[in-house]
Amino acid sequence: MTTLSPTLELACDLIRRPSVTPVDEGCQELMMRRLGEAGFAVERMRIEEVENFWARRGGGSSEKNGPVLCFAGHTDVVPTGPLESWQYQPFDVRIDEDGMLCGRGAADMKGSLASMIIAVERFVADHPNHKGAIAFLITSDEEGPAQHGTKAVVERLRERGERLDWCIVGEPSSTTLVGDMVKNGRRGSLGCTLTVRGKQGHVAYPHLAKNPIHLAAPALAELAAEHWDNGNAYFPPTSFQVSNLNSGTGATNVIPGELKAVFNFRFSTESTVEGLQQRVSAILDKHGLDYSLDWALSGLPFLTQPGELLDAVAAAIRTVTGRETEPSTSGGTSDGRFIATLGTQVVELGPVNATIHQINERILASDLDLLTEIYYQTLVKLLA
């Protein structure tokens, strides 16, 4: 076997550890040791069953000590699914004959973690007296409930007034070539269960019953057809989707007494949670329904406008790959939504996401060396 680059060697070391959410399997121990050796003050933050750590090198948290660039990510991976479906075993990491790094977490996101560590090790060796501070915020619960991970660590950092100017999250943001896309924001996600009450009865005696399906259908049609906003330069228009619709008693001759619909908004910064909630209620009221709504907000939208961080990342990608990156707010939510609440500019930059969460997760191994170089060049632009 040919020798691996430092990034690939570390990536393999991390992927071999079967850290399915929320288990960490020593991934963080390994990262903390490397960062400690590079001069970081490392702080474990185990919260409930979740392993997290915060590490920082240089500067203080006050204004005069210069900006703080934080790398953020997660060591946990999603479950493998049926092992017999994998071409190679998910934690038996390898680089195949096509140069693909194969294994659970290769793309999401142990590859990025390895690139961050190697880039930072090189940077502090080259620039021991760099400006400001470099930090790491790592969790083992991004793929799970995500309550005791980044969200909880961010609360602690907020309480002690920790300054965090810029954050690069290692989520796999690229679509076909590394660096072709970065995420400079994410839509918000607002879920809801709607219950519409009717009156159960015999289908042959509808005048004695109240059919919640008939009552809810036109209201749902109106919700589905509603134009919520136009989006803006960074966000597509807000979308409403029904994911589940349930009613019926199981019998064909019974009008059911109740209907439940589950729906979700992916919303832009042009809409607010309260605004969407009011508009949903107004439509349901207009149809005269007897209903209740059970809302669950899983994330507010965030946006990083063009500025120091986005410019530095775009320039680094251009230097390393010759590509013009495309900033985008598409895709699901990420831990970036918690970090952005600190007033931090947040950009997600990682490898190609084509196989994330799938059987046979893989990325082009050489992309990770490019990613290391991109992180390194970003550090140079911001803190050298």
What residues act catalytically?
76, 142
Name the one range near Zn ion by CB under 5 A: 170-178, 262-270, 315-323, 358-366: 170-178
Is 108 known as a binding-site position? Answer: yes
Is 274 known as a binding-site position? Answer: no
Place of tokens 């991004």: 142
Per CB under 5 A, 340 contacts Zn ion: no
**Smaller CB distance to Zn ion: residue 211 or 334?**
334
We find the least distance from the C-beta atom of residue 380 to Zn ion, in angstroms, to be 26
Name the one range near Zn ion by CB under 5 A: 163-171, 199-207, 212-220, 252-260: 163-171
Q: Which of 108, 165, 335, 348 binds Zn ion (CB under 5 A)?
A: 108
Name the one range near Zn ion by CB under 5 A: 17-25, 169-177, 204-212, 346-354: 169-177
**Smaller CB distance to Zn ion: residue 184 or 271?**
184
Is 287 known as a binding-site position? Answer: no
41 bridge partner residues:
56
Residue 84 CB neighbour total at 10 angstroms: 6
**Smaller CB distance to Zn ion: residue 35 or 169?**
169
Cα–Cα distance, 102 to 123 (Å, whole number): 28
**Smaller CB distance to Zn ion: residue 108 or 367?**
108
Per CB under 5 A, 27 contacts Zn ion: no
We find the least distance from the C-beta atom of residue 251 to Zn ion, in angstroms, to be 45
Least Cα distance to 143 among 3, 324, 333, 360 occurs for 333
Q: How many residues line the site for Zn ion (CB under 5 A)?
A: 3
Cα–Cα distance, 337 to 150 (Å, whole number): 10
Cα–Cα distance, 80 to 217 (Å, whole number): 39
Per CB under 5 A, 51 contacts Zn ion: no
We find the least distance from the C-beta atom of residue 344 to Zn ion, in angstroms, to be 18
Tokens for 15? 């992927």
Least Cα distance to 72 among 176, 181, 157 occurs for 157
Is 367 known as a binding-site position? Answer: no
How many CA atoms are closer than 13 Å to the CA of 371, on its beta-carbon side?
Answer: 40
We find the least distance from the C-beta atom of residue 256 to Zn ion, in angstroms, to be 40
**Smaller CB distance to Zn ion: residue 108 or 373?**
108
Q: Which of 109, 153, 220, 365 binds Zn ion (CB under 5 A)?
A: 109
Per CB under 5 A, 223 contacts Zn ion: no
Cα–Cα distance, 379 to 119 (Å, whole number): 8
Per CB under 5 A, 20 contacts Zn ion: no
We find the least distance from the C-beta atom of residue 368 to Zn ion, in angstroms, to be 15
**Smaller CB distance to Zn ion: residue 65 or 360?**
360
We find the least distance from the C-beta atom of residue 125 to Zn ion, in angstroms, to be 28
Site string (114-153) toward Zn ion, x via CB under 5 A = ----------------------------------------
Cα–Cα distance, 367 to 8 (Å, whole number): 10
Is 171 known as a binding-site position? Answer: yes
Going by the annotation, the residues of the binding site are 74, 108, 143, 171, 357
Q: Which residues are annotated as a binding site for Zn(2+)?
A: 74, 108, 143, 171, 357
Q: Which residues bind Zn ion (CB under 5 A)?
A: 108-109, 171
